[in-house]
Copies of this chain bind each other. A is one copy, B any other.
Amino acid sequence: MRATIITIGDEILIGQIVDTNSVSIARKLNAIGIAIGEKLSIGDSREQIVDTLRRTLQSSDVIIITGGLGPTKDDITKHTLAEFFGSKLVYNPAEGEHVRQLLERRGIQFTELNRNQAMLPECCTVLHNAHGTAPGMLFNHEGKVIVSLPGVPFEMEHLMDDEVIPRLKAQFTLNDIVHRTIITRGIPESILAERIEEWEDALPDYLHLAYLPAPNIVRLRLSAYNVDKSEAEHEIDRQIEKLRKIIGDNIVGMEGATVESLVHDILIERGLKLAVAESCTGGTISAKFTAMAGASQYFMAGVTSYSNEAKRDILGVDFTNIECFGAVSEVVALEMAEGVRRVAGADYAIATTGIAGPGGGTRQKPVGTVWIAIATPNGSYAVMRNSGTDRSQIISRASAYAIEMLYEELKRL
């Protein structure tokens, strides 16, 4: 069972938006056993939509299209699909009434343009969009299913979950797809490949291994298509056990395990409390922890002490030290970590202070210089890192490094 995902919109082709819709659709289809053969993005052009449909219908059982369903002149998907399937547009009173009520609740007047949104191809199954004004459409064509959904992510998600997935499951007999990703740290890709070569070569034919390298991390994904889920899961478990015997020390965890989630788990398990003092990272570290459900069990407080006065008044940093050594210094980082640990009543604390740029760098402390401190019940320490020259990169790298340092500290418990 093979699907194609087509996203329509010039905004994708010019790089104005990042296409996350196709990511979400791919995951949802994989979860019910439908593999994606191809993903395409094309413009708001009648010819291109028709050519693409004609070509991809030859190699796909399912085609999911998003975008181009709005009320304005640049949106042509609906008319093109009606034409492609030789169907005329007819007014759907139920959808028209829904759009009218939806707009009324928002205090918006119902216009001719909105009425047109309820004009739908006669030959399609209308997919009711409870959260928006553009309904989805499902076409059955020579045993294949073609679905058109609005491009607004929230509306697309609901239509996929509530309307599309149940219909695909009902219409097709689907086998399972299983993916499992193992996260390794500390071995470069080429060395890792050599170390696990024998294991890789001995994998059963239906298990496919992929290497996904990133700075300091290589993810190994095992995929099995068109299988029985529980059997494949069982085999993957067995293979991971074998892999642990070869590179066990380098396996951090399974997909989804970020370093902050590992810290989160340890803190909850041990009943320990955390506080964070941030200067250059500006709240990013706090936001990473508090994004996780359950963070309130250990996250006491974060202080983004951007000004020198805030460092002194909120965290108790000695102003003389700021004047003598500068705000970006070992002693200030340590005082920030110790200060927030004390003020927030935490067991552990992280602090960052650095020069995120583009201004503020000097020869001795260039842009990218960041001091990171960890305060623990048994004392504190700090390290200096240079994290590049781009502001957003400096912020994200320094945040990641600070959380890694805390993880290393907590692992010793």
Given known pairs A40-B39, A282-B295, A284-B283, the reply for A211 and B304 (CB within 8 Å) is no
The residues of B that contact A343 with a CB separation of less than 8 Å are: 310, 313-314
The residues of B that contact A289 with a CB separation of less than 8 Å are: 282
Do the beta carbons of B113 and A14 come within 8 Å of each other? no
A94 within 8 A of B: no
Do the beta carbons of B43 and A40 come within 8 Å of each other? no
B-contact 0/1 string along A1-27, CB 8 Å cutoff: 000000000111111111110111111
Residue of B nearest to A392 (CB): B291
Whole-angstrom CA separation of A70 from B211 in the bound complex = 9
Do the beta carbons of A15 and B11 come within 8 Å of each other? no
Identify which of B18, B38, B179, B307 contacts A16 (C-beta below 8 A).
B179
The residues of B that contact A12 with a CB separation of less than 8 Å are: 39
Do the beta carbons of B291 and A282 come within 8 Å of each other? yes
The residues of B that contact A209 with a CB separation of less than 8 Å are: 73-74
* Least distance between A253 CB and chain B CB atoms (Å): 16
Whole-angstrom CA separation of A296 from B177 in the bound complex = 50
Interface stretch of the complex, out of A83-91, A104-112, A159-167, A401-409 = A104-112
Identify which of B11, B111, B293, B303 contacts A303 (C-beta below 8 A).
B303
Protomer copies: 2
Interface stretch of the complex, out of A121-129, A183-191, A242-250, A375-383 = A183-191
B-contact 0/1 string along A388-409, CB 8 Å cutoff: 0001100100000000000000
Given known pairs A14-B30, A189-B70, the reply for A290 and B303 (CB within 8 Å) is no
Count A-side interface residues using an 8 Å CB cutoff.
107
Do the beta carbons of A14 and B43 come within 8 Å of each other? no
The residues of B that contact A43 with a CB separation of less than 8 Å are: 37
A36 within 8 A of B: yes
Whole-angstrom CA separation of A106 from B10 in the bound complex = 42
Whole-angstrom CA separation of A391 from B282 in the bound complex = 21
Do the beta carbons of A283 and B306 come within 8 Å of each other? no
Whole-angstrom CA separation of A283 from B284 in the bound complex = 6
The residues of B that contact A357 with a CB separation of less than 8 Å are: 293
The residues of B that contact A303 with a CB separation of less than 8 Å are: 301-304, 314
| A351-379 residues at the B interface, CB under 8 angstroms | 356-360
Whole-angstrom CA separation of A17 from B193 in the bound complex = 22
Do the beta carbons of A391 and B291 come within 8 Å of each other? yes
- Pairs across A and B, CB under 8 Å, 25 listed: A11-B210, A14-B36, A14-B179, A14-B223, A17-B23, A72-B189, A72-B193, A72-B211, A73-B200, A108-B190, A282-B289, A282-B290, A283-B284, A283-B286, A293-B356, A293-B357, A293-B359, A301-B305, A301-B307, A301-B314, A302-B304, A302-B306, A310-B345, A314-B314, A314-B344
Other A-B contacts than A15-B27, A18-B23, 15 sampled, CB-CB below 8 A, are: A14-B27, A14-B30, A15-B36, A39-B41, A70-B211, A71-B189, A75-B211, A113-B190, A113-B193, A152-B214, A282-B287, A282-B302, A286-B286, A290-B304, A301-B306
